[in-house]
Amino acid sequence: MGRIKTDNNHTRKEVIITSAAALFKEKGFKAASMRELADVVGVEAASLYNHIHSKSELLHIICFEVANRYMHTMDEIEAEATNSIQKIEKLLRFLITGMVLHYDEVYVSDREWKHLSEPYLSNFQSQRRTFRKRFAAIIEQGIAKKEIKKIDAPTAVLILLHAVSGIESWHRSKVKINGKELEENMITILVGGLKK
Amino acid sequence: MGRIKTDNNHTRKEVIITSAAALFKEKGFKAASMRELADVVGVEAASLYNHIHSKSELLHIICFEVANRYMHTMDEIEAEATNSIQKIEKLLRFLITGMVLHYDEVYVSDREWKHLSEPYLSNFQSQRRTFRKRFAAIIEQGIAKKEIKKIDAPTAVLILLHAVSGIESWHRSKVKINGKELEENMITILVGGLKK
DNA sequence: AAAATACACTAACACTCGTTAGCAATATAA
DNA sequence: TTATATTGCTAACGAGTGTTAGTGTATTTT
């Protein structure tokens, strides 16, 4: 075969990671083989190892890319001087556009993190928990200030996060509404459901 | 080892299926091995094949048990002489309690159906599509009768379904609110988000 | 008690998997 | 051009996979 094609902005490793995200999404981490990945990239399986250490490295790079982006955004939004509803709306919009833009990575990070190996697994779970707690805290502040219905905040977080990850099926669907319209619909339903 | 233990109401095959659902949920279909399943059941791997035909049979039994239950309920609810909001609420309550009661099976059916083999795969996907279309139709009727906000019905369906499947994490969480309370919270947020 | 059935065992099969070793070709730096 | 670092290849490894064949032993039926 030839060598791995790169436009000049991406290293060969990055090309592999991108293809891996797409493949892991489609087949699942365990079911996807390095030989398939090599095929997609246009190379023999063994050649991949000139660029990466292991299959599991691919998974943890993908997962933490997403996790770090989430944490970074949470930092920003917490720091803003806005009310809870505004913070939640901004967070949702970030999650939705993030899902539309980095679909493969977010999907894999969402569904395949179980296959991370230690210490990455524990680390990832901990980041996930923290993110949800901070999200719930925002909702609880909103409840305290009577901007939001009196509901169980952790439950609300679960609903919101999973509703967003439902975009998965939107992505597969043929009669797509466009991304912006999707976003507005979700905000209407979800924020509308929280507001007092 | 001994033989597979059964209380008198369940066949040995049913015991295997139940254990398989739990194992597939925990490890994922591909990552779960027949030798592990045999361990759980208390028997050697080869012995399983006195009761089942193959690993993939286990998956499609689990998936279609859930799918059939969904279809059956949809039939019932469609036939009722109630308005859209009431139908949606009933559907949601069914989905939520179904998730709490048959957690492993629903989870596996939700996340692992991709690994079904033909013709089961096509059949399952088709049932899934049909269920969603019928759900969307109920929402659209509600919009036409101005009971529901003017939103994109298929998007709303995705949000509702994925919000419900988020109970997964509730199930894992240690500080659980009880099932009934969970249900009320979800109804409040989700139906509240739809209502005009 | 005898015969038939259900069920579990051991051993092994044909594969696929991730990964490594060693070597050849190509691109880059001197 | 020569030397060096990159990147690819083939071949093979050891481990794990689902599954089958054949055999022995309980349990159930007659």
Interface contact flag, B149 A30, Cβ < 8 Å = no
B contacts of A194 (beta carbons < 8 Å): 189, 192-193
For the stretch A28-83, pLDDT in tens is 999 999 999 999 999 999 999 999 999 999 999 999 999 999 999 999 999 999 99
Interface contact flag, B185 A154, Cβ < 8 Å = no
Task: Answer whether A185 touches B (CB < 8 Å).
Answer: yes
B contacts of A189 (beta carbons < 8 Å): 149, 151, 156, 159, 190, 193-194
Task: Tell the CATH topology of A56-194.
Answer: Tetracycline Repressor; domain 2 (1.10.357)
**Per-residue pLDDT, B191:** 76
For the stretch A107-139, pLDDT in tens is 999 999 999 999 999 999 999 999 999 999 999
Rounded to whole angstroms, the Cα distance separating A95 from A185 reads 14
pLDDT band at A86 (very low <50, low <70, confident <90, very high): very high
Task: Tell the CATH topology of B64-194.
Answer: Tetracycline Repressor; domain 2 (1.10.357)
CB-nearest to B155 from A159, A162, A170 is A170
Interface of A with B in 143-162 (CB under 8 A): 149, 151-152, 154-156, 158-162
DSSP state for residue A48 in the 8-state scheme: G
Interface contact flag, B182 A155, Cβ < 8 Å = yes
CB-nearest to B30 from A28, A163, A173 is A28
Rounded to whole angstroms, the Cα distance separating A153 from A91 reads 15
Closest-approach nucleotide to residue B51, Cα vs C1'? C7
**At residue A1, what is the residue type?**
M
For the stretch B95-154, pLDDT in tens is 999 988 899 999 999 999 999 999 999 999 999 999 999 999 999 999 999 999 888 898
Question: What percent of chain B has a predicted confidence (pLDDT) above 90?
Answer: 67
A contacts of B30 (beta carbons < 8 Å): 28, 30-31
The encoded tokens of residue A92 equal 């949702």
Task: Tell the CATH topology of A12-50.
Answer: Arc Repressor Mutant, subunit A (1.10.10)
Task: Answer whether B169 touches A (CB < 8 Å).
Answer: yes
Contact A143, A149 (CB under 8 A): yes
Task: Answer whether B93 touches A (CB < 8 Å).
Answer: no
Closest-approach nucleotide to residue A31, Cα vs C1'? C17
Rounded to whole angstroms, the Cα distance separating B51 from B122 reads 26
**Per-residue pLDDT, A118:** 94
Contact A85, A194 (CB under 8 A): yes
Q: Per CA to C1' distance, which residue is closest to C12?
A: B46
The encoded tokens of residue A124 equal 């990832």
Domain ranges in chain A are 12-50, 56-194
Q: CA nearest B32 in A: which residue?
A: A30
Comparing B12-50 with B64-194, is the CATH topology the same? no
